[in-house]
Amino acid sequence: MKKIENYSRISGAVNVELLQSTHIIGVGAGGAYCLYEALARSAVGKLTVLDFDTVDDVNLTRQGYEMHQLGKRKVDALGEHLKNVNEGLQYTGITKNFLEMANVELDEIFGKGDLFLFLTDSFAAQSFGNKLALRYGKPAIWAGFYEKSQAAEIVFTIPGVTPACFRCAVSPRYEVQQESETEIVISSGCNTIFHSQVLDAYVGMLMMAILHNDVEGYEFSNWFGKHWERNLLQLKIHPTYGTEVDSLFQRTFAATEGRTVTFNSIFQKIEAECPPKYEPCPDCGGNGDLRNSKHES
């Protein structure tokens, strides 16, 4: 078996033994291709990826897939590549739509994971992911780009640490979806492989920080402590994004007149939606944890 065995260069940053016993569940095998490869190189022991899409010629420019893989299921093509990177990784590709799975099947897959990734263009998939993270009490990450890929957003939740769930963080998006007759789909237009790799890198480092939050002695240790309210991260990619005087990026970074900033990130404070300021969040009830809510998934 051709597996990576020498992790000496990353041993100060991560606990290799911890990662080797970690099971990551990822939904979406598109722009996250490079992220999954990085996990295979970073001592993660087990990876399960769900995606029912096939490799199309449009994917070749930004998702890492190769010409000879056209027409193959993405999870199968991804598995071929990851095997060449590190055969020590236990990889499973699932081609079913998790939105259509029965609870017993969801339990079998997600109940055995340590951290969930929801990396799709589908609002339905992202929102259902919130219910799964809450149901199983597992840390999770959601990520995607805004229009024309000028900025990106990452939401992450850590049970017992972050008080607000994904729905609390992006509740206006739920309101827009409820008013729309069709599902919201985030456009991947203007999104190059460089965009994908930037976002993958941020997601990857947040993953390492979440997994090491209670582990002492590593560079990724204790990033968030026992309580962390700033669990929505915005990344500025294009220089002209958010240049309005009252925009968050402008207020934060461009205090000096004439300054142009880009490639910056902001951790935004997110409140759990609960009375008296808000109606109770339909997913977590304002507790950030479905197990403490009267609402059912």
Q: What is the pLDDT of residue 256?
A: 59
Q: How far apart are alpha carbons 130 and 120 in whole angstroms?
A: 13
Q: What is the pLDDT of residue 293?
A: 43
Token pair in block for residue 233: 């991260």
Is residue 9 in some structural domain? Answer: no
Q: What is the pLDDT of residue 262?
A: 83
Q: What is the pLDDT of residue 177?
A: 86
Is residue 297 in some structural domain? Answer: no
Per-residue pLDDT of the chain (297 residues; tens, 9 = 90+): 689 999 999 999 999 999 999 999 999 999 999 999 999 999 999 999 999 999 999 999 999 999 999 999 999 999 999 999 999 999 999 999 999 999 999 999 999 999 999 999 899 999 999 999 999 999 999 999 998 999 999 999 999 999 999 999 999 999 888 887 676 666 667 899 999 999 999 999 999 999 999 999 999 999 999 999 999 999 999 988 887 767 888 778 765 566 677 888 999 999 999 999 999 999 999 988 654 544 443
Is residue 8 in some structural domain? Answer: no
Is residue 11 in some structural domain? Answer: no
Is residue 267 in some structural domain? Answer: yes
Is residue 7 in some structural domain? Answer: no
Q: What is the CATH number of the domain that holds 187?
A: 3.40.50.720
Is residue 2 in some structural domain? Answer: no
Domain range for 255: 16-292
Domain tally, the chain: 1
